[in-house]
Amino acid sequence: MSTLEIKNLRATVGGKEILNGVNITVNSGEVHAVMGPNGAGKSTLAAVIMGKSGYEVTEGTVTLDGVDMLALPTWERAVAGLHLVMQYPTEVPGVHIDEVLAEALSARGRSTKDLTARIATEAQRIGFDADIVSRALNVDLSGGEKKRNETLQLAVLEPRIAILDELDSGLDIDALRACAMRVEAATTEQNLGVLVITHYVRLLEELKADKVHILVNGRIVTTGGPELADTLERDGYAAFA
Ligand code: ADP
Ligand code: MG
């Protein structure tokens, strides 16, 4: 059982305050959705949790099982159990996914013995072509293939808490369903906790949200159950702005 606790988090980018006191607690097995208009600070929240450079935390805390994440470099946060599925996955020429996963597993003190089989199993599970797995990481992949690639890494690494920044962007309907179902399965099979940033109720139909938080101007203005996403789909953000 793990807990990611974000408390009164304030952060600036380029001297401008983007996060204005964010509070969210995600436990193992739970799915929390963060929805909000463009520019609300959703990607900034993901970046600050993972420690992307260029963001300054001015107040508040981010802890995983009581351990201060903000004090650690990004790779140590990942080893501790945080995992970010990026909105725009980076292309890394010359580096292959099995090499990335072998390094990541070694850093976690875990065996790489049956990694090839594991990758094959996971690729098949999300309908990912084995041929693509053998290509350089994300290079010349379609948007949907990149997100399947990200989902495969998540499945193999088995983090405690995953942050998904618009997993749905660039995905067709089948790919979206495959990726969302795999993450949902991880919440029960591996007790994964999820913080999912999305604009679309469609994603939440497969990846069942326990809580929906609405972020506007760097602050959570409303928290509710999955029905809140339906209200948003119908009425837009006007009522929450
Ligand atoms: P969202 O993901 O909710 O659409 P972002 O977190 O990407 O929003 O951005 C929130 C605000 O922060 C936007 O106004 C954006 O222009 C600004 N911002 C984000 N990153 C930077 C940066 N590196 N430099 C300056 N402003 C930034
Ligand atoms: Mg964003």
Q: Give the neighbor-by-neighbor strand order of the sheet with 193-197.
A: 82-85, 161-165, 193-197, 31-35, 211-216, 219-224
Mind listing the pLDDT tens digit for each residue in 19-42? Answer: 999 999 999 999 999 999 999 999
What's the number of domains the chain is made of? 1
> Is residue 136 a part of any domain in this protein?
no
Structure token pair of residue 188? 């029960």
| 101 found inside a domain | no
Has residue 82 been placed in a domain?
yes
State how far the Cα of 95 lies from the Cα of 237, in Å rounded to an integer.
41
Q: Would you state the pLDDT for residue 103? A: 95
- Residue pair 181/140 in contact by the 8 Å Cβ criterion: no
| Ligand 1 atom nearest to 54, measured from its CA | 23
Residue 113 lies in a domain: no
Using alpha carbons only, give the angle 140, 142, 144 rounded to the nearest 5 degrees.
145
128 in any annotated domain: no
Give Dmax (Cα) for the chain.
53
What pLDDT, in 10s, does the model give residues 88-133? 899 999 999 999 999 999 999 999 999 999 999 999 999 888 778 7
Counting as low any pLDDT under 70, the low residues of the chain are: none
Does residue 130 form part of some domain? no
Which domain range does residue 176 map to?
A: 3-88+161-240
What are the C-alpha distances in Å from 132 to residues 2, 62, 102, 136, 194? 33, 36, 17, 8, 26
| Atom number in ligand 1 closest to CA 215 | 3
Among 13, 35, 163, name the best residue to mutate to test ligand 1's pocket (greatest count of ligand atoms within 8 A of Cβ): 13
| Residue bearing the CA closest to ligand 1, atom 18 | 13
Question: How far apart are the CA of 18 and the centre of ligand 1, in A?
Answer: 7
C-alpha 14 – ligand 1 centre gap (Å): 10
pTM of the model: 0.95
What pLDDT score was predicted for residue 150? 93
Whether residue 23 lies inside any domain: the answer is yes
205 within some domain: yes
Question: Is ligand 1 within 6 A of the CB of residue 44?
Answer: yes
What is the model's pLDDT at position 165?
Answer: 94
> Does ligand 1 come within 6 angstroms of the Cβ of 42?
yes
The domain that contains 187 carries what CATH number? Answer: 3.40.50.300
Asked if 9 and 59 count as a contact pair (C-beta separation under 8 A), the reply is yes
